[in-house]
């Protein structure tokens, strides 16, 4: 019996794609992999810009166990993630459903909804701070003209969180909407035509056709939205500066405070490692849940 030889592909099939990927791989390694390794190493040191570094092993991680501010900011971050991610996904999908069709000026509306995502988070925070300010904010000024009392959008703990969630939705929903639009446009129209012939209602069609075929897009949206929510910093800092008190102080702000304001780089790196582990575990569970759904089907 003649042995079969396995083809490894031509030059164009193997080396050429690698050549095109090399710049991206170098950039990814330089700005992601190398800093991550350096951060992990730094977390094992008492690292100061002024006093240098001293190896202390896992002492930074042990100190985190007794740091009440770390646990408070982590709790605030988790609450924000749990609330923002589902609402963001639902709002983005609801926006995408009527805008997935071609023609009728839908492209204009998609551009309008997507436009806020192109703005810097710092610019968004400054703009909404002008709108939501208690004494000088435009919205409260209009409320006063109408005879209503001003609302403490940013000076009350609950209202500050509500305002932060709303601004997050305003600035990020369009980005994830475009992902859903792409997924909706990829669904073959014949499925909907067959459902219509069978007399299926709009709700049944959405539940039996649209949602199952959008599961890969939903997974991507949930994972990306989760990572973004855990890393929230610029918008939060500009809009509320972590206040009032510590009601909107998130973990990334505390990492920045410890590393750059208190000059405890190693301690900040340790918190970054913990944050990386939490994001990795949550993302892994999301992929495992998606895989289990496909297996059951």
pLDDT of res. 218: 94
pLDDT of residue 1: 46
pLDDT digits (tens, 9 = 90+) for 176-224: 999 999 999 999 999 998 998 988 888 999 999 999 999 999 999 999 9
pLDDT recorded at residue 239: 94
- 8 in any annotated domain: no
Output 5 or 25, whichever has higher pLDDT. 25
Q: In the chain, how many domains are there?
A: 1
How confident is the model at residue 105, as a pLDDT? 77
Residue 50: its pLDDT value, please?
Answer: 79
Largest Cα–Cα distance in the chain? 93
- What local confidence, expressed as pLDDT, does residue 65 receive? 94
Please say if the pLDDT value at position 111 is more than 80: yes
Highest mean pLDDT among 14-23, 35-44, 287-296: 35-44
Domain-located, residue 2: no
**pLDDT tens per residue, range 23-57:** 888 998 998 889 889 999 999 999 888 788 899 99
User: What is the percent of the chain where pLDDT is above 90?
Assistant: 73
Q: What is the pLDDT of residues 118-163, one digit of tens each?
A: 999 999 999 999 999 998 899 999 999 999 999 999 999 999 999 9
User: In this structure, what are the phi and psi dihedrals at residue 150, rounded to the nearest 5 degrees?
Assistant: -65, 150
For residue 284, what is the domain's CATH number? 1.10.3720.10
Q: For residue 112, is pLDDT > 90?
A: yes
Q: Which domain holds residue 175?
A: 67-296
Q: Is residue 101 in some structural domain?
A: yes
Query: Could you tell me the two tokens for 29?
Result: 């390694």
Q: Is residue 124 part of a domain?
A: yes
274 C-beta neighbours (distance < 10 Å), count: 18
Residue 254 forms part of a structural domain: yes
| Triad 273, 275, 278: Cα angle to 5° | 110
Is residue 52 assigned to a domain?
no
Residue 128 lies in a domain: yes
Does the pLDDT of residue 10 top 90, yes or no? no
In a domain, 159, yes or no: yes
- pTM more than 0.85: yes
């Amino acid at each position: 019996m003649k042995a079969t030889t396995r083809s490894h592909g031509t030059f164009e099939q193997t080396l050429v794609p690698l050549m095109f990927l090399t710049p991206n791989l170098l950039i990814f390694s330089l700005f992601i992999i190398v800093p991550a390794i350096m951060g992990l190493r730094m977390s094992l040191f008492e690292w100061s810009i002024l006093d240098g570094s001293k190896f202390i092993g896992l002492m930074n991680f042990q100190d985190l166990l007794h740091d009440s501010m770390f646990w408070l900011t982590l709790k605030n971050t988790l609450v924000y993630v749990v609330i923002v991610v589902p609402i963001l996904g639902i709002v983005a999908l609801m926006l995408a459903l009527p805008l997935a069709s071609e023609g009728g000026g839908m492209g204009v509306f998609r551009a309008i909804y997507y436009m806020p995502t192109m703005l810097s988070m710092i610019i968004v925070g400054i703009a909404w701070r002008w709108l939501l300010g208690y004494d000088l904010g435009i919205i409260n000024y209009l409320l006063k003209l109408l005879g209503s009392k001003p609302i403490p959008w940013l000076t009350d703990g609950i209202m500050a969180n509500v305002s932060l969630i709303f601004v997050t939705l305003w600035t990020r929903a369009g980005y994830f909407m475009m992902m859903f639009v792409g997924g909706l446009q990829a669904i073959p129209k014949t499925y909907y035509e067959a459902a219509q012939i069978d007399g299926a209602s709009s709700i049944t069609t959405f539940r039996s056709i649209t949602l199952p075929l959008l599961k890969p897009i939903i997974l991507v949206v949930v994972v990306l939205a989760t990572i973004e929510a855990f890393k929230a910093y610029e918008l939060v800092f500009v809009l509320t500066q972590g206040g009032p008190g510590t009601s909107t102080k998130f973990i990334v702000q505390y990492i920045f405070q410890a590393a750059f304001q208190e000059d405890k780089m190693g301690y900040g790196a340790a918190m970054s490692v913990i944050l990386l582990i939490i994001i990795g575990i949550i993302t892994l569970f999301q992929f495992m849940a998606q895989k289990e759904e496909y297996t059951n089907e």
